[in-house]
Amino acid sequence: MQFYKVLIPFLILNFGALGLGSWLMNNGPRSEWYINLNQAPWTPPGWVFGLAWTAIMICFSIYMAQLYIKMPTKEVLILFAFQFLLNVSWNYIFFNKHQVLFGLIVIILLTLLVTYFFFRFHSVDTRYLLTPYILWLCIATSLNAYILLNN
């Protein structure tokens, strides 16, 4: 399979997930609810989130394209779809519904799933492109946990 024919759909899906997630979180980080929460001292400024997610989705799209070229299986697509669902739903659960505990469960599952990709498909040369995603999810999980424990 030609790389770009596989990469472009993953880019569209991943950036579509970001757009859908942003739409589902309502006012999100600008909402009165979120602003009034006790937040972790290590919470990055808002602009970092957009920059981080853009870089993460580019890396993840390249990784997924390489993985799917090497292993065009139903398993890969199902895991990707589950990742998509968890990623998008966290925004809605946490920011829109204010379900901090359920949000923490979702983001932990997402972190475990992306880490599973890293170890399960270890033969893919680009698996280290998952590192920013895993690290960012660990940070996001810690922020979610801090909010749960301190509010």
Domains of the chain as residue ranges with CATH: 3-149 (1.20.1260.100)
Query: Quick one: tokens of 77?
Result: 């697509």
The pLDDT assigned to 1 comes to 65
Decide: 28 and 34 in contact? Cβ < 8 Å: yes
pLDDT in tens, 101-127: 999 999 999 999 999 999 999 888 899
Tell me the whole-structure pTM to 2 decimals. 0.95
Q: CB pairs under 8 A, 24+ apart, for 107-115?
A: 107/137, 107/140, 107/141, 107/144, 108/141, 110/83, 110/86, 110/137, 111/137, 111/138, 111/141, 113/79, 113/82, 113/83, 113/86, 114/83
pLDDT in tens, 56-101: 999 999 999 999 999 999 999 999 999 999 999 999 999 999 999 9
Decide: 150 and 124 in contact? Cβ < 8 Å: no
Q: Mean pLDDT over all residues of the chain?
A: 96
Decide: 56 and 136 in contact? Cβ < 8 Å: yes
The pLDDT assigned to 72 comes to 97
Decide: 99 and 33 in contact? Cβ < 8 Å: no
The pLDDT assigned to 26 comes to 85
pLDDT in tens, 7-32: 999 999 999 999 999 999 988 899 99
The pLDDT assigned to 124 comes to 82
